Chain A
Amino acid sequence: MAATQVIRSEWTKIRSVASTVWTLSLAVVVTLALSMLISALSANEFDKLNAQDRSDFDPTFISFAGMTLGQLAMIVFGVLVVSNEYSSGMIRTSLAAVPQRGTFLFSKVAVATGLALVVGMATSFAAFFLGQAMLGEHRAQLGDTGVLRAVVGGGLYMTLIAMFSMGVAAMLRSPMLGLGILMPFFFLISNILGNVDATRKVGRFLPDQAGSRIMQVVTPVGDDTPYGPWGGLGIMALWVIAALGGGYALLKRRDA
């Protein structure tokens, strides 16, 4: 069983269902629209900020504000790519055609990851340039220190979020269960853990909080985060490896 055959097959699968198009376009549209809106509002508010807030002002990070919502569409993309196989019963047909379950899962993840990377990277660059246009005189330049790293990092962040969702979906199988756990987790629980003093130290090791560190260019005064931008992305990558490893282990063992 040549892996290239399976990758071609998975590419046919992913491009022939409507959910791929609508989840990814939603991720782009929501991220860009919200990033532009928040960048425009921040530019207007800048004059009212005190000296402390002005020194913490991070125009690059602000232009990625839309990702908090846009990532939810990436999560839906990642979950559906995997769990569609189960909800439709297609998994039995797929595994009869490709009984090497590791080849099957990792070809699927590779194709979906490639697509998420292209869309995520394009979205990140677009969000940056559109956001900076809204910020006017407070804008950052791509050549400024740390800015290119943050913009590339934004694309990687979107990709890793999709990969993490694929791993979780491979473990849970049901799309409703997958979305029912991941959506509130990233939209609510992670935020709550990160904003309550007692849990902040735990919260910042969650995949989204650790990973989004790479999009920051200006480190706020008094920040005691124990990892840097790449360290944070590394923590997120570990979550991804754990989720995909768990998904693979269960797929390998379970009856289809």
Chain B
Amino acid sequence: MKRATFGALISHWQKHPLQLLALVVGLAIATALWSAVQAINSEARASYARASAQLGFSGLDVLIPENGTIPVTSYVNLRRAGWKLAPVIEGRWRLPKGSVRLIGIDPLSHPSASALTDATTFKLVNLTSPLQIFLHPNTKEKLDGIPDLPPITLTDSLPTGVVLTDISIAEQLLTHHGQLSRLIVLQNKSIGLTPLAVLAPNLILQSANGSQTGRLADSFHLNLTAFGFLSFAVGLFIVQGTVGLGIEQRRNLFRTLRAMGLSLNQLVVLLLSELVLVALTAGGIGLILGYLLAGALLPDVSSTLNGIYGESVEGELALRPSWVLSGLGMALFGTALASGHAFASFYKMPILTIPGFQSRAHTAGTGYKMMAITGSGLIVTGGIAMVLFDGLLVGFALLAGLMLGSALLLPLLLSKILTIAEKAASGALSEWVWADMRAQLPGVSLAMMALMLALATNIGVGTMVSSFRLTFLGWMNQRFSSEIYVSVNNDEQASELVNWLDSRGVTSLPIRWAEISSMGIPIRVYGAMDHSRYRKNWPVLQAVETLWDDVFIGSGALINEQLARRLNLWPGDELALSTDWKVTVSGVYSDYGNPHGQVLVSLSNLLHNVPDVPNRQFGLKLPLKEVPALMKELQEDFDSRDILAIDTTDIKARSLAVFDRTFIVTGALNLLTLGVAGFAILTSLLTLWNIRLPQLAPIWALGVTRRQLAWLELLRSLALATLAAVLALPLGLLLAWVLLSIINVEAFGWKLPMFLFPMDWLRLLGLAWIAAIIAAAFPAFKLARIKPSELLEVFAHER
């Protein structure tokens, strides 16, 4: 009985293979995009864990500062109190050929010292004498040409992109004098010792299982997850549409089966079995696609994480059982979620009722209102959460509320717009077209939601990236206003260089800074000479009128946006750089890409408070056409071990290349989401095909040709895509504003100005049109070529 019944149920798909294809492909795509992102994330996390284990940081608790760094005095106090700790200094060491992660450890107390002194690996004991630096062979290229480095030992035991050395060398290279990054807690038991929370209330004890990755990299993974989830949701729209239709079309069959003695529960179990079968098949296909997609995207993700966030992702994509199981689980969960509504209606509706397309169209109004109320509730909840709470997750909650809420508002909005259009239509045919579109809405609204979300995401993320790029370009031009930047090794070489430059009439501006710690935050204080370069070019966001005069007479200071936001200091506020060094904030400047606080004071003010600031870097001002000649002369007249000169154009080009590479993944996911939305329209139009004919045949009988009807199908799809695009625009811009003004501030500490890119909107509208035309082309072609006999079947009642 069950086998025969199951066979009868499944025979529906034999009759409607396109519907089955839409269901399987929709679910496979949803699973593929979600699992691709999960594969990338888990690969990255596994890589971080591998790197952590290689460096001996895994399995141990770590003390980290609330803000900035840990003063050496705190470390000494804890040691005196009996705590066994291993100090670590860590930071990005910026080099002409990119940056590396520089880690300084104390070889005598480092937890893995004994393990790492294995004869087959590198001898950590060598760290003591003579002082060396250790790195992976693949990292060596970045250090080529750097003068006066300690001896280098190459080892495969370290991850790529990491340089390990003695803490004293790291302190010099990073200029983190007396400032530690973290303390590894070497003992688990603390009997008889004063608790760490009492001894060092400003330090946070991070458990062995806690995240070792930076906050920025975490937010990047969160972003990827959000994208994956959005794509998953868009894919589920396809599933919901096809499952609902599959149940509705089989109501006659259900009625017959019930009449033959099948209970409702038995029928539900059989339908669920059918869905599980489909979910597992589609999930399996999705996993294969997801694996391939992750493999394609991983190199770009790795490059992004390495270039911007300083995290290294190595190795090939591994097929993890947990990933396979979670992917199949998501396919089953997604199917259950997308089928829930259809099953609920199936339970509620009397079995003898055969709901058709006609009743759906006119009973949909109440459903639209309920959806709109829920959607408005979600938007308001997101807004309230943002007002009441802070943090990155709340920002994402606001985004989720906005996106989902707007999607739920869409059917009601579209219905109202189409009603207005119908009333405004003058011709009989156009009136029918608008009315027909409104009647079609229950069948296509999910696809329209998917399209609107995809377009809004494209507009939002595109506006964010383009605004960031434009701001970044402008900022680079302002910030790197010298034509050449030169570094030397000591003050004697600096004097020699300045004299050499003076003799050639080249203006040199010293770049001198000191690392200090104020209010527990590490701050780099720059000293600037009074020069038009600063007055004309510095990227100031907010300032008092007498900004530069205040700075150069020594009373004022400029601070970067990150510091301003972290300490809530704005023009007019006072900043204490030390107990007896106070300045008034005269202005705030943008400083993109730098996670740390910065202050700019006059050079005399800096030297007065920190007399031993080294003088080893200079910005050279000269006409652009003279740059190549001067670079050549510098190379000829100075030993390359003593001097490092970089052409600004080169810095800008490299920075921009890193920037663009960062957003390759975002662009790819954007396009994929749009593709899925296009597919959602196609599947909804195809699944509607059979119930469309009874709507179209009478119009054909009234004298509208099949060719005209086919064109109208195309125009209908275009009109719906245009409406979705028009409604997606304000949502996309709102999304961009949230990303630029809320998420960025929470994640990175800087706010970006928002620019509008109407040409990009037109390009997106074009893409939406292409998706709509491709989706409607097949049904329209079918309609144009349909045989009259097929249309006549609608009226037939004898043959």
- The reply to whether chain A is a binding partner of chain B is no
Residues of B bordering A, CB below 8 Å: none
